[in-house]
Structure 1
Amino acid sequence: MDPVIIVGAGPVGLTLALALARQEVPSVVLDEGPGKDEPRLARTVVLREDTTALLERLTGTPLSEAGAHWAGWRAMRRKQVMREVTFDDTVEETEGREGVPNAAPLHIAQHVLTGALRAALADERLVKVAVDSRLDAIEQEVSGVTVHTRGPKGTWWRGSYVVGCDGPRSTVRKLQDIRFPGRTAVERHAVAALHVELPWEGQALLHRMPPWRTSGPSGGEVTGRPLPDGVWRLDWLLPPGKDLVTPELLVTHVRETLAGWSTGPTPPYELLDTGVHTVHHRLARRWRVGRVFLAGDAAHCLGTLGTHGLEEGLRDADNLAWKLASAWHHGLHEALLDSYQTERRAAVAARLRAADQALPLLRGGGGLRAYVPGSARGHDALLIDGHLGQGAIGAPGTYADSPLAPPPLEGEVPVDTPRGAPVMDVRVTAEDGSFVQLRERLGRGALLVLLIAPGTGVWDRKHWATAGIMPRLAAAVTALPYPAELLVAESYPGASAHSVLLVRPDGHLVTALSGVRPADLYAAAEAALGGPVKATKTSKKAKADKETEEAEAAAGSR
């Protein structure tokens, strides 16, 4: 079968290529540029724990060594500290919100991240990167897709599917005549990367209405985010309009901010890079046209109020990869491929709505709202949620209303992870007897079946793999209509002993069942694949029922 053609060699396109390769699907990445990325310390990304784990799993590189995990977060208004967060600890909320464990975000330069992805692809036999290849035509057929590129090596390429990861000005989107409505220049930020020593070592900072600034929306806003080796990225929210950001203006912002944050003389600094970050809010009407898909900035633009669009692009790639792999290996399944648009577009749309609803409150410039008791604290909480990846503005979406969600099952039980949400990372025993983290088993093109069995962690797998309910569960897993891996964990938050969790290849929970229930497990797996698969699976299910009966009989005779 022909490879998947990925248009665009940014972080989303490269991540998708690696994710497909890990599931034995070949791809061609069409890179418009020369295959190199200009170092830009003023262009960085902030990644939550789940997206960091995804990238580390794909690249085999500990990205924490190339970026900075923040020690904490500080939110200030004028001269007052409004809130402090220490990461890798439990944050106690005092306004009716539950305390939640906070893993430190990773702050990394985008060119460093892209370099790690390119290095991982360099030795990947299933991925071909074609540099200086600019797309200019797409032709779809029932059996595949043909695209044309122009450049020094302009040619035709044949593929099974095309995924446009080519940014907000996506050629793929334009060639498919997909509308991209939304708002332009929702916010603008002046950005500077500098080497400097600040009072909050390793702590990110959000400073609203700093006392040295009286102009701009809400009196101004400055964000400071540390990078490795004493480098900081500073962002200043700019007033509405299209006023030119001159080098002199940026230097003025740097000096007055450093002076305002220092108790003594203005600290020395070295200016390394500057830029202007313009935030747009746009959402493509369609993310799929036949065999052509959109992902990342080609499908959506967001990034205001601390949210980071790249993370959503990475989640696009993770969601789409296993569905394309299933279609590539097992045949086209329209409902499964359609679910990509349904799930991901709904998740991104929810974040866009939350940000658009919050913007008038945060950037309204006063009025009666400014005098409502507690309003300032509430506004700060909204911003912090965005920056830290929490709440409606910042938290990753769940797929509770997904078309892949199974119907109510008789044996279903609640756990601390809702249906459709990403599973928590726990230590598990793999089929080869090794102890690994659950996230390490994701993205391999298989469903995960996780049995909660207290006490198994202290015994060699060979002593309990053939005892109790294990033979029956193993038979049920073998019978599933898709490759599946059986894992065992000592515990999982909110799950009782002998619960069985079914997890999608991208780490989202399908269901949790009380005990071994082959019929429910099969029904949930079938739903997670988009509904009934091929007719040949009926005979496989019958065979599974027989194997389950034989396993139960064997267990009863011991």
Structure 2
Amino acid sequence: MRDRSVAVIGNGPVGQTTALLLARRGVPVVLLDGRPARDKVGSKAICQQRDVLDVWESVGAGRRIAAEGVTWATARTFHRDTELFALTLDDAGTSVFPPFVNISQARVEEILDERIAAQPLIDVRWGHRVVDVEQDDTGVRLGTDTGERVAADYAVACTGAHCEDLHRTLGVAFEGHSFDDRFLICDIRADLPGWARERRFWFDPVWNPGRQVLIHPCPDSLFRIDWQVPGDYDLAEEVRSGALDRRIRAIVGDADYEIVWKSVYRFHSRVADRLRVGRVLLAGDCAHLMSPFGARGLNSGVGDAENAAWKLAYVLRGWAGEALLDTYHAERHAAAVENLDVTTATMDFLVPHDDDQRARRESVLTGAATDPALRAQVDSGRFSEPFWYVRSPLTTPDPTRPFAGRPPRGTVPPPGPGILTPDVPLGESSRLRELLRDGFCVLAAPGAEPPDVSTVPWPVRVLRLSEADHDGGIARALGMRPGELWLVRPDAYVAAVVTEPTALVEALRRAVAGVPAPRPRRVPRTSPHA
């Protein structure tokens, strides 16, 4: 007998998000994890980006995570003993969420667990490590180390970085490289006046010569410290000899401190060659690994989860054919490659590979103290941002809105096909993205001919801005022109901007990768969300 429509493998934050988003769309899920229970220690991924908070809010968790997190306002950058510059972050835009919050992955997982416990469509099974995967045209069957076999229509693998066995079973290559240096991470609790709203980054400090140190504030007087250390670093020996205490004292001085968690990591840059293998989709660290500078790991994994969830729901309901799942690879593999490109450039600056790179870095860091033009070249990480699906097969291009390429740091591309819609308040208690994430939506500008979507075999909402956008805030945020029809996908990305209703219907069909399969699947329609 079939257990659930989708089996999610891995109960970390990406797996949790995938399960919650599927359940929100009425899809039953079994959530499997080989661990006996939740591991609640360590900060791990700490920086949660604004648009990820927005995704979590669609399952009832975003505002709570944002409220508990810490948003620092100033980024201080040092070279040896000299402060090069301090940047004050502006909170541009109209979102109810801050640009990001620092909060431990463990706490995020606890909050998501509470949402899962309240969701009857999710069946959580700890102590079920998947050891075998079989699939055919009828479904996927997962063998676990308990002897159970779990059957489902599809599976999403969110197994984290240690996924060699699963890759081997699926025949997936995970090409890339690993960095020789390691990074020591300590969560400490301490009273450090003036540090709770600042991020501090040191290049080549005298107390960690030739390498970097990064300090992030977290809730409850916790500070996350990352040291770049040699490849042969021995944490146990540092603890035994007292060197770890000296390392921390070089930063906090005489302040009392408590080590809450410590670990050593080696960072990798890798991406799977296929993110869809038949009925199995790969997401999060199982699909891509990257250095943490810029916080693109977990944030990108949540993007994977949302992309996979709405597409699986549409296929299971018979609103789209199997070709829609191929676009999961097309869109999220491109996002992973973009993230690797950005994080590799950062690591090349942090850990130069040759004399030319080392000379360039030294020149930039030395000059940045007095030359503002060089400060823009100091690369300690570009913050995570939503990927843009401008070249996706689901996107209908608009020649009047050409994509200008990767925007400058700290900015987003102007709205248009393939770009995530900006968040705009709707009255006092609602937001545009809350409305858009319910399914496909057409935003009709004043003067636009209302489209007839009755021939489209899945729900499509038409929102006439002449009736809903009383102050013109939506039109201004989008840069909308009179007579335009904006088609928005269930993940709040713009799929098309057209002026003719017939072009709108064609864009709708393109946005689900063609004409959907004629026969509906048997998923119970228990959710109002489509």
State the TM-score bracket (shorter-chain normalisation). Answer: 0.7 to 0.9
Give, in angstroms, the shift of residue 528 of structure 1: 0.9
Give, in angstroms, the shift of residue 478 of structure 1: 4.4
- Structure 1 residue 334 corresponds to structure 2 residue 336: no
**Amino acid of the residue matched to residue 178 of structure 1?**
V
- Structure 1 residue 48 corresponds to structure 2 residue 49: yes
Q: Secondary structure at the match of 1:181?
A: strand
Indicate conservation of the 8 Å contact 2:319/2:457, yes or no.
no
Rounded Cα–Cα distance in structure 2 between residues aligned with 1:197 and 1:210: 25
Give, in angstroms, the shift of residue 395 of structure 1: 3.1
Structure 2 unmatched runs, 5+: 404-412, 521-530
- Structure 1 residue 223 corresponds to structure 2 residue 214: yes
**Amino acid of the residue matched to residue 145 of structure 2?**
R
Give, in angstroms, the shift of residue 15 of structure 1: 0.5
Q: Which residue is 1:310 aligned to?
A: 298
Give, in angstroms, the shift of residue 404 of structure 1: 0.9
Give, in angstroms, the shift of residue 318 of structure 1: 0.6
Pairing partner for 1:525 from 504, 508, 511: 508
- Relative to structure 1, the CA distance from residue 367 to residue 329 in structure 2 (aligned partners, 3 Å threshold; closer, same or farther) is closer
- Computing the radius of gyration from Cα coordinates, the structure with the larger value is 1
Give, in angstroms, the shift of residue 278 of structure 1: 2.3
Rounded Cα–Cα distance in structure 2 between residues aligned with 1:448 and 1:76: 47
- Structure 1 residue 253 corresponds to structure 2 residue 247: yes
Q: Which residue is 2:176 aligned to?
A: 182
- Farther-moved stretch of structure 1 (115-124 vs 377-386): 377-386
Indicate conservation of the 8 Å contact 2:318/2:518, yes or no.
no
Q: Which residue is 2:5 aligned to?
A: 3
Give, in angstroms, the shift of residue 45 of structure 1: 1.9
Q: Secondary structure at the match of 1:139?
A: strand
Pairing partner for 2:76 from 61, 74, 91: 74
Pairing partner for 1:505 from 479, 484, 490: 490
Pairing partner for 1:113 from 90, 108, 117: 108
Rounded Cα–Cα distance in structure 2 between residues aligned with 1:501 and 1:36: 43
- Relative to structure 1, the CA distance from residue 518 to residue 131 in structure 2 (aligned partners, 3 Å threshold; closer, same or farther) is same
**Amino acid of the residue matched to residue 386 of structure 1?**
G
Q: Which residue is 1:484 aligned to?
A: 460
Indicate conservation of the 8 Å contact 2:186/2:225, yes or no.
yes
Rounded Cα–Cα distance in structure 2 between residues aligned with 1:30 and 1:300: 20
Indicate conservation of the 8 Å contact 2:318/2:516, yes or no.
no
Q: Which residue is 1:160 aligned to?
A: 153
Q: Secondary structure at the match of 2:496?
A: strand
| TM-score under structure 2 length normalisation | 0.83
Rounded Cα–Cα distance in structure 2 between residues aligned with 1:413 and 1:361: 31
Give, in angstroms, the shift of residue 484 of structure 1: 1.9
Q: Which residue is 1:542 aligned to?
A: none
Rounded Cα–Cα distance in structure 1 between residues aligned with 2:223 and 2:321: 47
Q: Secondary structure at the match of 2:387?
A: coil
Pairing partner for 1:403 from 389, 393, 410: 393
Rounded Cα–Cα distance in structure 2 between residues aligned with 1:510 and 1:402: 9
Give, in angstroms, the shift of residue 452 of structure 1: 4.4
Residue by residue over 1:191-228, the C-alpha shift from the partner in whole angstroms, topping out at 9 and shown as x without a partner, is 1111223343432323223643362xxx3322111111
Rounded Cα–Cα distance in structure 2 between residues aligned with 1:350 and 1:285: 14
- Relative to structure 1, the CA distance from residue 482 to residue 135 in structure 2 (aligned partners, 3 Å threshold; closer, same or farther) is same
Give, in angstroms, the shift of residue 412 of structure 1: 7.8
**Amino acid of the residue matched to residue 54 of structure 2?**
A
Q: Spell out the pairing of 1:21-170 with structure 2 (5 A cutoff).
A: 21-40=23-42, 42-60=43-61, 62-89=64-91, 103-151=98-146, 154-170=147-163
How much is the aligned-residue C-alpha RMSD, in angstroms?
A: 3.0
Give, in angstroms, the shift of residue 416 of structure 1: 2.6
- Relative to structure 1, the CA distance from residue 195 to residue 214 in structure 2 (aligned partners, 3 Å threshold; closer, same or farther) is closer
Pairing partner for 2:190 from 173, 192, 196: 196
- Relative to structure 1, the CA distance from residue 39 to residue 420 in structure 2 (aligned partners, 3 Å threshold; closer, same or farther) is same
Give, in angstroms, the shift of residue 418 of structure 1: 3.5
Identity within the alignment, %: 29
Structure 1 unmatched runs, 5+: 92-100, 260-265, 454-467, 538-558
Indicate conservation of the 8 Å contact 1:32/1:134, yes or no.
yes
- Relative to structure 1, the CA distance from residue 174 to residue 110 in structure 2 (aligned partners, 3 Å threshold; closer, same or farther) is same
Rounded Cα–Cα distance in structure 2 between residues aligned with 1:187 and 1:376: 26
Q: Spell out the pairing of 1:534-553 with structure 2 (5 A cutoff).
A: 534=517
Rounded Cα–Cα distance in structure 2 between residues aligned with 1:182 and 1:307: 19
- Relative to structure 1, the CA distance from residue 491 to residue 328 in structure 2 (aligned partners, 3 Å threshold; closer, same or farther) is same
Rounded Cα–Cα distance in structure 2 between residues aligned with 1:182 and 1:484: 41
Give, in angstroms, the shift of residue 332 of structure 1: 5.8
Alignment size in residue pairs: 485
Q: Which residue is 1:422 aligned to?
A: 420
- Farther-moved stretch of structure 1 (102-111 vs 223-232): 102-111
Residue by residue over 1:228-258, the C-alpha shift from the partner in whole angstroms, topping out at 9 and shown as x without a partner, is 121111111123x222123233322110112
Q: Secondary structure at the match of 2:344?
A: helix
Q: Which residue is 2:203 aligned to?
A: 209
Q: Secondary structure at the match of 1:70?
A: coil
Indicate conservation of the 8 Å contact 1:71/1:104, yes or no.
no
Give, in angstroms, the shift of residue 301 of structure 1: 0.6
Indicate conservation of the 8 Å contact 1:284/1:300, yes or no.
yes
Give, in angstroms, the shift of residue 46 of structure 1: 0.5
Pairing partner for 2:440 from 444, 447, 472: 447
The higher-RCO structure (CA 8 Å, 6+ apart) is 2
- Relative to structure 1, the CA distance from residue 296 to residue 536 in structure 2 (aligned partners, 3 Å threshold; closer, same or farther) is closer
Q: Which residue is 1:95 aligned to?
A: none
- Relative to structure 1, the CA distance from residue 214 to residue 534 in structure 2 (aligned partners, 3 Å threshold; closer, same or farther) is closer
- Relative to structure 1, the CA distance from residue 376 to residue 509 in structure 2 (aligned partners, 3 Å threshold; closer, same or farther) is farther
Rounded Cα–Cα distance in structure 1 between residues aligned with 2:397 and 2:519: 23
- Structure 1 residue 319 corresponds to structure 2 residue 307: yes
Give, in angstroms, the shift of residue 330 of structure 1: 1.1
Indicate conservation of the 8 Å contact 1:49/1:105, yes or no.
yes
Rounded Cα–Cα distance in structure 1 between residues aligned with 2:366 and 2:319: 54
Indicate conservation of the 8 Å contact 1:477/1:484, yes or no.
yes
Q: Spell out the pairing of 1:446-465 with structure 2 (5 A cutoff).
A: 446-452=439-445
Indicate conservation of the 8 Å contact 1:165/1:298, yes or no.
yes
| TM-score under structure 1 length normalisation | 0.79
Give, in angstroms, the shift of residue 268 of structure 1: 2.2
> Between Structure 1 and Structure 2, which shows a larger proportion of helix residues?
1
Q: Secondary structure at the match of 2:103?
A: strand
- Structure 1 residue 276 corresponds to structure 2 residue 271: no
- Farther-moved stretch of structure 1 (223-232 vs 168-177): 168-177
Indicate conservation of the 8 Å contact 1:189/1:238, yes or no.
yes
**Amino acid of the residue matched to residue 423 of structure 1?**
T
Rounded Cα–Cα distance in structure 1 between residues aligned with 2:401 and 2:296: 35
Q: Secondary structure at the match of 1:306?
A: coil
Indicate conservation of the 8 Å contact 2:200/2:214, yes or no.
yes
Q: Secondary structure at the match of 1:354?
A: helix
- Relative to structure 1, the CA distance from residue 535 to residue 332 in structure 2 (aligned partners, 3 Å threshold; closer, same or farther) is closer
Give, in angstroms, the shift of residue 498 of structure 1: 5.0
